[in-house]
Amino acid sequence: MTRTSFVQIASVLFLLTTHSAYSFSARDTYCVAATPELKQMEQRRILLSTSGKPHSMTIHIADQPSEQAAGFQFVCPDVYANTQILFVYNQEISVKFHMRNVRGSLDIGFFDMNGNLIEVHTMQPYPAGAKRGPVTGPSRPFRFALEAQEGYFDANQLLAGKTTLQWTD
């Protein structure tokens, strides 16, 4: 590779990582500020209450199959540090969640049909280059699943068996 080619490639990478929605991670893959699916998700406020202590938050709602399939895939970690996705299903289901194409660890809380938090799990991204990795799901059916940055549930004292989810609007 000539010096000119190297400088051109380095310039393009610099522009992409500093002047667009795309950036590159340590895994040499890109991430975006928001995927089309994340952009189309409705935003609503919910209230999570633990032993009477309220925690209000704005969440993105993934209630369409395309939104549920996308989740936080390809989204940069600094975005989901302040963004939560609530997966909403029409009835209680038993499915597993994966972390393929997700750039960092996430917590996921599973809620039953009455909005009771039944379990919280921490999910790890797939190893670099892996096409398969661990999947996560609760020990019983759920109706809602809330994905947030790792540590979110602990930091906000959202506890399985003690926290309930309510719609505020």
* pLDDT given at position 48: 97
Where would I find the H helices in the chain?
Answer: 3-18, 36-40, 65-70, 77-80, 152-155
Task: State whether 96 and 84 are in the same domain.
Answer: yes
Please list the residues that pair with 109 across neighbouring strands: 120, 146
The percentage of residues in the chain with a pLDDT greater than 70, rounded to a whole number, is 83
Task: State whether 74 and 37 are in the same domain.
Answer: yes
DSSP label at residue 34: -
What distance in Å separates the CA atoms of residue 116 and residue 166, rounded to the nearest whole number? 9
Number of folded domains that form the chain: 2
pLDDT in tens, 48-68: 999 889 999 999 999 999 999
Q: Strand, coil or helix: what is 127?
A: coil
Task: State whether 18 and 39 are in the same domain.
Answer: no
Task: State whether 122 and 85 are in the same domain.
Answer: yes
Task: State whether 12 and 48 are in the same domain.
Answer: no
Q: What is the pLDDT averaged over residues 129-136?
A: 89
Task: State whether 69 and 4 are in the same domain.
Answer: no
Confidence of residue 81 (pLDDT cuts 50, 70, 90): confident
The mean pLDDT of the chain is 85
Beta strands, E only, the chain: 22-24, 30-32, 42-50, 53-62, 85-93, 97-98, 106-111, 117-123, 135-136, 142-149, 163-167
Domain of 23 in residue numbering reads as 1-29
CATH code of the domain covering residue 126: 2.60.120.1140
92-95 long-range contacts, Cβ below 8 Å, gap at least 24? 92/141, 92/142, 92/143, 93/141, 93/142, 93/143, 94/137, 94/140, 94/141, 94/142, 95/137
